[in-house]
Structures are given as structure tokens and as C-alpha cells.
Amino acid sequence: MAFLDRIVTGAALCLLGTGIAQAQDVTLRIGHVETPHSTTHVMLEAMAEAVAAKTDGALALQIFPQSQLGGQREMTEAVQFGALDATAGPVAFMGGFNPVASIMDIPFLYPANPDKAQAIRDAGFADAFCESFNELGVTCIGLYPNGTKQFTSNAPITRPEEFSGQTFRVMESMVLVEAFKSLGVTAVPIPFGELYTALQTGIVDGEENPLDTIYNMKFFEVQEHLTLSWHGAIENVILFNPAVWTGLENSHRAAITEALEETIPGMIAHKAAAGEASLQKIRDAGLTVRQLSEDELAQFRAVMFPAGRDAFLDRAGDKGTAIFEIYQAAYDKVMN
């Protein structure tokens, strides 16, 4: 189905949905770009089951994985314009849509401990971050973690000075480019689909991704070293069309937000299990794996975090400053 056809069909359903807010049965479509086996899809399906149970089947969430309804940019715009009910999208793809989203590119934004990282989200940061989307023609109902990036390279990478002179692939983000520059690294935004070949041919020396991505994309085949740094947050938001969201009954909105909150712990556990399984397979493949100590993590954060923070603040304006202050207050509350 062409994207225009998907838009027309989605628009018709959205108009129908907003007009039957008081009816007994409502079906909402949620699209995302990840595979049916991904943590995001597993989480959304579990959320849909919980919503159906909470509403006695009166509200159904229909989940469309793997870009069936378009790429992330297309789906975000479709939600904004009312052609799609909702999308669960990676924040990393939304810096152009919402400059504040680039705060997630700052390395070592969260501590490696997942419980402390969640405590920072829960200390007001997640709510404020989500709110930053709401003036852009969408309604953000939640932020959830979807993994943490690690370093791989064909050279040792256990100390900041070992990165100097290397070339790393990063996502297209000046925050990441400046953060890696602080290590003496040349950061190159190469399309994800070209990364394996770029590593294989030596165009870049290393990259950063979650463990399950490193394994599933077979990057371990063309890398020699993996450093467990837990340095890069992979976060997703769930965005609804505002008319669809406000057109729902109060109990239905509550069912969705409660189901999301209840599902997040299981989603974190699912992602962690996928990471552990991938890590073991990467070890079995013969890569040198090194877990950074607390002191080593602090050394990396002392170099990369300020560079990433300054690059973010230089580009995100007053709204970026405001969200960073909320983040810093939440971080200090949890870590001090």
C-alpha cells in the first residue's frame, strides 16, 4: 500500500474514532519501525492486552510493526496531521522534529544502573521531556527506555585516551559528533544500513549500539573489541494525535497510561535478557569484552558528558536549557 493510501485510510479511521468517543468499541492504530521480535513490539502487544482487559474489550490497540505504516518521520507527521492514531518512535529519530529530543544524545546521561536510570526518569525528567512534544501537534503519553549503547572497535577502547585517532560511526547528531570529538575521535554519520560494510572495509574503526543490535546486525563479525560502557540512552516516546487522545473517554485514557506504566518493568527485563543473550553470543564469537569499572565510567563521563551537554545547549535554545535543568535536578536527586 502506498504511503498516500495509508494516510487516506488512516485519516478516515481517525475521523471515525474522534466522532465515536462515546461509543462502546474503539480501535486505535499504533505504528512503529521495529521488528515483530523487538522489545518495543513485545511491549506494545502486552500493553494492548492490558488495555483490552482494563476496558472489558471496549478499547483495542492495533499494533503495526516494521514500518508497515511508513518510516518514523512519515508516521510522526501522520500522527501530527491526524492520519494515524499513534506511533511509538525512537527519540533518536526526532531531533529534527523536536530539538529538545537531542538531549538523549548526550553520553552518560543516565547511570549504568537501570534502577537509578528509571528513578531519574521518574523524578520529573520523563514528564517534562514528554511535555516538550505537546506543542508540536502531538500528545506524548510516555517515555520508555529501549536499550543502552556500548562501544565496539577494532582497537582497544577501555580508556579515553585509547579512542584518540580513531573514526567512529554515529547517528546524525552534532551532540554525538562533539561528544566523540572530546575523545579525539572523528565521528562520521553513516546510514545504519551501510555500517556493516563501513566496518568491514575500514572506513570506520568502531561504532556504538545496544548489545542486541550489535549481535543481530552481525557487527561483531567485523569488530575485535567490545567495551561495556552503558553510555548512550536509547529512549522511545509514544505519541498520539491530540484530537484522538482528547476524544477518548477518561477511563480509556487512564487505561492506556496505566497499561504503559505497568508494562515498562517487563519491557526493561525483556531488553536486558536480549542484551545478555547477545553478549554471550558475542563472547562466544571471540571478541575481547571488557566491562568498565565505576572509576573508568566516571573518567569517560567526565570527558564526554560536558562536550555533549554544551553541544546540546548551544543548539536547543531556551527550551533546551529548561529541560536540561529539570534533568540535572532529577540526576542530582537520585545520585547525590
The DSSP 8-state label assigned to residue 293 in this structure reads P
The residues that bridge with 145 in the sheet, in sequence order, are 235
Q: How far is CA 139 from the centre of its chain?
A: 17
C-alpha cell of residue 57? 474489550
Q: Quick check: 4 pLDDT over 90?
A: no
In the chain, the amino acid numbered 122 is D
State how far the Cα of 12 lies from the Cα of 157, in Å rounded to an integer.
53
pLDDT recorded at residue 19? 41
For the segment 163-187, what is each residue's pLDDT rounded down to a tens digit? 999 999 999 999 999 999 999 999 9
Would you say 212 and 147 are in contact if contact means Cβ atoms under 8 Å apart?
yes
Determine what percent of the chain is predicted with pLDDT higher than 90: 89
Instruction: Specify the DSSP element, H or E, that contains 28.
Output: strand 26-31
- 201 CB contacts (<8 Å, ≥6 apart)? none
Residue whose cell numbers read 477518548: 248
For the segment 227-286, what is each residue's pLDDT rounded down to a tens digit? 999 999 999 999 999 999 999 999 999 999 999 999 999 988 999 999 999 999 999 999
User: Average of pLDDT values for 72-99?
Assistant: 94
Q: Which residues of 82-104 are buried (b: 16+ CB within 10 A; e: fewer)?
A: bbbbbbbbbbbbbbebbbbbbbb
pLDDT recorded at residue 10? 45
User: Average of pLDDT values for 29-36?
Assistant: 95
pLDDT recorded at residue 18? 42
Q: 6-20, 52-66, 118-132, 144-158: which has the minimum mean pLDDT?
A: 6-20
Alpha carbon separation from 203 to 139, 178, 189, 212, 226 (Å, rounded): 41, 19, 12, 23, 18
